[in-house]
């Protein structure tokens, strides 16, 4: 797994992570909407939980790559 992660350039990963966090641009990004739902305790539907994780996958991969860079 780490070898695949090492092959992905930071620049591409950052662009994809930012895009997925901000998508859709209007009316409100899904990540922000789902985090507000989580704060209010209304994030209970499986599709909403999946949507939150789906939009955060590139960010999680980026964080893993950063961690990998520091732990070498």
Residue-wise pLDDT tens for the chain (72 aa)? 678 888 889 999 999 999 999 988 888 888 999 999 999 999 999 999 999 999 999 999 999 999 988 887
Gap between the terminal Cα atoms of the chain? 15
Model-wide pTM > 0.85? no
Q: Which tokens is 3 given?
A: 């070898």
Kindly list the domain boundaries of the chain, sorted by start residue: 2-71
CA distances from 67 to 18, 23, 37, 62 (A): 18, 25, 29, 9
Q: What is the per-residue pLDDT for 14?
A: 95
**What crossing angle do the helices spanning 46-71 and 30-40 adopt, rounded to 10°?**
110
What is d(CA 70, CA 38) in angstroms, rounded to the nearest whole number? 31
- What does the pLDDT read at residue 6? 85
Q: For residue 68, what are its two tokens?
A: 């990998």
Q: Residue 34: its pLDDT value, please?
A: 92
């Amino acid at each position: 797994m780490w070898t695949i992660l090492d092959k992905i350039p930071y620049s591409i990963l950052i662009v994809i992570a930012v895009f997925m966090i901000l998508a859709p641009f209007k009316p409100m990004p899904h990540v922000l909407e789902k985090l507000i739902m989580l704060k209010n305790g209304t994030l209970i539907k499986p599709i909403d939980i999946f949507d939150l994780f789906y939009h955060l996958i590139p960010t999680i991969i980026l964080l893993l790559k950063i961690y990998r860079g520091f732990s070498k």
